[in-house]
A and B are shown apart, each in its own frame.
Chain A
């Protein structure tokens, strides 16, 4: 990692001031909260579907940001959790367990378990080797999913019924489902905020800045980072469960390495190591993708260079731009 990442001071998330960044964040969250109202008034059901997807992938980005932005663990296999969470829901649904009380905890537990194994092995490596080993594990899971003939193999599996919650929540209602996703997103951001400002989170951020020093003053950083890695995996697994419910479909394509790339793009685009950056990144990236594909037949011809320009010119993503390039 270059110095620019490491120079950022500890506890960058704390200390909110009223800046352009804060204003935009509040506006985005408020707008997201009002999306169902708008779509009900205008009858534009597609927009709600689009924003549900935005919110779900934002949960994935928030989770990735916890390890990548605060912990310096650049995972290039984060889409694996989306897949594991999704397949947990899909497989249980096919086997006749339709209850969300079963499906969702299994999705979270399976993702956490996978994260525990992958983390325990991967966290021994550093830098680009870590990027590649997480990618390797995600590829394995990808090929496992392709090999699952009973659950559709390469073609994927249609889920005929969304998770049921004993009449309390009806996920088939699009507005209800949207607010469930939105609530989980806010809870996820709150969780990350609590983690990074706790003693635990300071150790995580400290080991990003200088792991050797953290170890020298007596912190077993490996264990801290592993726990952090597992928390992020569990959160993203939940996003996967939501994604499967959203599309009513699971397939290995959910975990293709370019999907992991998408998540990285959202985090870096929005602002690495900032609380709301991943959310803003997800909103901007997915809306840009959608808007451009309506504007032109070749959306990536424009989207690609935009990402390139962000990588070259924007220090700290959109959040960084809003802060005027200053660092906390």
Chain B
């Protein structure tokens, strides 16, 4: 009975990797939702979005030391990220809305440099860690034989809750109505007497809080360190491009898709290559190919659908 046993174990491994993929996808969604809102409504390319993710993680690690409570740290870090985002918008970001995308790249790149350095000044060059409460360190048996770390489940559920909340806010509240209206025609919203400046500040703060939340959630899994937002920012850009700029629903679908491709590809591509190629070639190609896979998918999508899977018209 060796063969069925092995394929069963492979199946379990596959399920576990899929869950990891969904978990990464959820994090990407939190980042991408803010990016795509800011992009869709204010037409701003924000390279400093990853810095807000980093700040969220640092805030959480700091508040955890100060308060000694994980939950309090998460809540405080969220509020701090929201405030940081709104201050950033008022001080700098709002002056970039009317500029070209290229100037926005330049300006927010400057902000990215600034934040990396500011974090180094305040928290020092060494990374920080955020310890989990013991209750979240256990593994949960989700289906017979499959154990999954409780904390990763918490991430998935928390992000799902945030997604639902975001959906509710955007689709069912007055603020959300204004956000949607701003995304389709911002001049008209302004002409109708809405305080567009305030709306933009709120939207940017909301995006910052979402990015900060992603950073907070990821902090216990990774080390909190300078530049942690840079590579995941690029993945978040991939998500909003695939999903179609300005579409939160598109971002949600694309985030899970990107998370799955990234994680499952990384887990299984090297093995699959081993079966086709010599060990040597597979060892070289495997990691490279699995890191590249998501970019290849994105390039392929853009070649055939130059405006993403869910272009603005069908938003």
Q: By DSSP majority rule, is chain B's interface helix, strand, loop, or mixed? A: helix
Interface-facing stretch out of A53-61, A91-99, A101-109, A130-138:
A130-138
**A129 vs B299: C-alpha distance when bound (angstroms):** 10
**A114 vs B234: C-alpha distance when bound (angstroms):** 21
Cross-chain contact of B230 among A133, A258, A272 (Cβ < 8 A): A258
B109 touching A140, Cβ below 8 Å: no
- Nearest CB on A from B120, distance (A): 7
Given A149-B283, A298-B120, A298-B121, A129-B292 contact (CB < 8 Å): no
Number of interface residues of A (CB under 8 A): 51
Contacts of A146 in B (CB 8 A): 287-288, 291
Contacts of B245 in A (CB 8 A): 128
A1 touching B237, Cβ below 8 Å: no
Q: Taking the complex as formed, is B207 at the interface, i.e. its CB lies under 8 A from any CB of chain A?
A: no
Cross-chain contact of A311 among B107, B115, B284, B308 (Cβ < 8 A): B107
Contacts of B104 in A (CB 8 A): 311
Q: Taking the complex as formed, is A126 at the interface, i.e. its CB lies under 8 A from any CB of chain B?
A: yes
Q: How many contacts A-B (CB < 8 Å)?
A: 162
Interface-facing stretch out of A221-229, A231-239, A260-268:
A260-268
- Nearest CB on A from B221, distance (A): 21
- Nearest CB on A from B272, distance (A): 16
Give a binary string over A121-154; 1 marks a CB under 8 Å from any B CB, 0 the rest. 1101111110111011101100110111110000
Give a binary string over B169-210; 1 marks a CB under 8 Å from any A CB, 0 the rest. 000000000000000000000000000000000000000000
Q: Taking the complex as formed, is A306 at the interface, i.e. its CB lies under 8 A from any CB of chain B?
A: yes
Cross-chain contact of B110 among A132, A133, A137, A305 (Cβ < 8 A): A305
Q: Among B45, B100, B121, B230, which residue has the most Cβ atoms of chain A within 10 A?
A: B100
Q: By DSSP majority rule, is chain A's interface helix, strand, loop, or mixed? A: helix
Number of interface residues of B (CB under 8 A): 52
Contacts of B117 in A (CB 8 A): 298-301, 304
**A2 vs B103: C-alpha distance when bound (angstroms):** 10
Q: Taking the complex as formed, is A5 at the interface, i.e. its CB lies under 8 A from any CB of chain B?
A: yes
Q: Which of B235-265 contact A (CB under 8 A)?
A: 237-238, 241, 245
B285 touching A264, Cβ below 8 Å: no
Cross-chain contact of A129 among B92, B287, B306 (Cβ < 8 A): B306
B299 touching A137, Cβ below 8 Å: yes
Q: Taking the complex as formed, is B2 at the interface, i.e. its CB lies under 8 A from any CB of chain A?
A: no
Cross-chain contact of A310 among B45, B92, B106 (Cβ < 8 A): B106
Q: Taking the complex as formed, is B65 at the interface, i.e. its CB lies under 8 A from any CB of chain A?
A: no
Q: Taking the complex as formed, is A41 at the interface, i.e. its CB lies under 8 A from any CB of chain B?
A: no
A74 nearest CB neighbor, chain B only: B102
The 4 closest A-B pairs by CB, nearest first: A147-B288, A307-B110, A304-B114, A311-B107
Q: A131-B105, A136-B299, A298-B121 are in contact. List 4 more A-B contacts (CB 8 A).
A: A1-B101, A136-B298, A147-B286, A272-B102
- Some 26 contacts from A to B, beta carbons below 8 A apart, are A1-B101, A74-B102, A74-B105, A122-B299, A124-B302, A127-B101, A128-B241, A132-B298, A133-B302, A139-B234, A143-B287, A143-B291, A146-B287, A147-B285, A147-B289, A149-B283, A258-B112, A265-B109, A300-B113, A303-B110, A304-B115, A306-B110, A307-B110, A308-B107, A311-B107, A312-B99
